[in-house]
Amino acid sequence: MALDIRIFPCLNDNYGFLVRDRAAGLVATVDTPDAEAIQRDLETSGWGRLDLILNTHWHPDHTQGNAALKAATGCEIVGPEEVRRAAPLDRVVAGGDTVMLGETTFEVTETPGHTLGHIVYRSAADDQAFVGDTLFVMGCGRLFEGTPEQMWDSFQALLRWPDETTIWCAHEYSAANARFTLSVDDRPETAAHAAKVFDLREQGRPTVPTTLAAEKAFNPFLRAGDAATFAALRAAKDSFVG
Ligand code: ZN
Ligand code: FE
């Protein structure tokens, strides 16, 4: 019941994640933006193996390393059915399913909105969640396939998690998200939170992970209150130049 988690930049603004179940020594990667970058971090980690790929959704920047990593390691690939349109997949999972990594149990929650089949993974015992492109620091995924109502419902599922849940987002969009947030939220505590984000980015450091508590406090999309308000905010963000 203990996880080691590594985060590293991939492509332009993606993050790669390696997760190890300490008890069994088994290793997973969440999404596969860049097989070479993931292989490099596997070497750096010294963890010596890759057992499992957990895909969150079908977009190429989350699945394009599946084939190469499977060929190199023989790992199992788990994800939503929609991944099949882009990459190999061994086991289809849906909401309510669980995926084991050694002694760690990842629960699957469906979060349609960014894509229709988007899922997220959470180890409740460790309070660690991998949310793909559903939620970002002070932001959320664009609605490429789903409706605002679907995404709003997806947020409600995440909001049932404990406040202390650590949230691992798949992109570093935080500075742009913070600029948008400041345009719709003039509370001093929000300005202070945004300042920390700008500071980390100036130092070239990741702003991920965040926590559910921080997003409940500062994420304007989670704070929207209802689907219609969320829809208006999402539309405003899509055209925001900040
Ligand atoms: Zn995506
Ligand atoms: Fe993405």
Phi, psi (deg, nearest 5) at residue 148: -55, -35
Which listed ligand is nearest to 11 at the C-alpha?
2
Each residue's pLDDT tens digit in the chain (242 positions)? Answer: 599 999 999 999 999 999 999 999 999 999 999 999 999 999 999 999 999 999 999 999 999 999 999 999 999 999 999 999 999 999 999 999 999 999 999 999 999 999 999 999 999 999 999 999 999 999 999 999 999 999 999 999 999 999 999 999 999 999 999 999 999 999 999 999 999 999 999 999 999 999 999 999 999 999 999 999 999 999 999 999 97
What's the CA-to-centroid distance between 14 and ligand 1, angstroms?
10
pLDDT of residue 7: 98
Which listed ligand is nearest to 146 at the C-alpha?
1
Which listed ligand is nearest to 61 at the C-alpha?
2
What's the CA-to-centroid distance between 59 and ligand 1, angstroms?
5
| CA-to-CA dists, residue 195 to 105, 190, 198, angstroms | 36, 8, 5
- Residues lying with their CB under 5 A of ligand 2, a single-atom ion: 61, 133
Cis check for the bond before 88: say yes or no (omega within 30 of 0).
no
Q: Which residue has the tokens 């948008």?
A: 180
What's the CA-to-centroid distance between 58 and ligand 2, angstroms?
9
Which of 164, 122, 155 lies closest to 223, judged by CA?
A: 155
What's the CA-to-centroid distance between 134 and ligand 2, angstroms?
9
pLDDT of residue 242: 79
Q: Look at residue 143 and give its three-state secondary structure.
A: coil
What's the CA-to-centroid distance between 61 and ligand 1, angstroms?
7
41 forms beta bridges with none
CATH level 3 topology of 3-238:
Metallo-beta-lactamase; Chain A (3.60.15)
Question: Which residues make Cβ contacts (< 8 Å) with residue 18, sequence separation at least 6?
Answer: 5, 6, 8, 27, 28, 29, 38, 41, 42, 45, 47
Which listed ligand is nearest to 169 at the C-alpha?
2
Phi, psi (deg, nearest 5) at residue 194: -65, -40
pLDDT of residue 1: 55
SS (HEC) of 29-85: EECCCCHHHHHHHHHHHCCCCCCEEECCCCCHHHHCCHHHHHHHHCCEEEECHHHHH
What's the CA-to-centroid distance between 170 and ligand 1, angstroms?
9
Give the angle subtended at the CA of 11 by the CAs of 8 and 14, to the nearest 5°: 55
Which listed ligand is nearest to 170 at the C-alpha?
2
What's the CA-to-centroid distance between 9 and ligand 1, angstroms?
16
Q: Give the residue extent of every domain in the chain.
A: 3-238
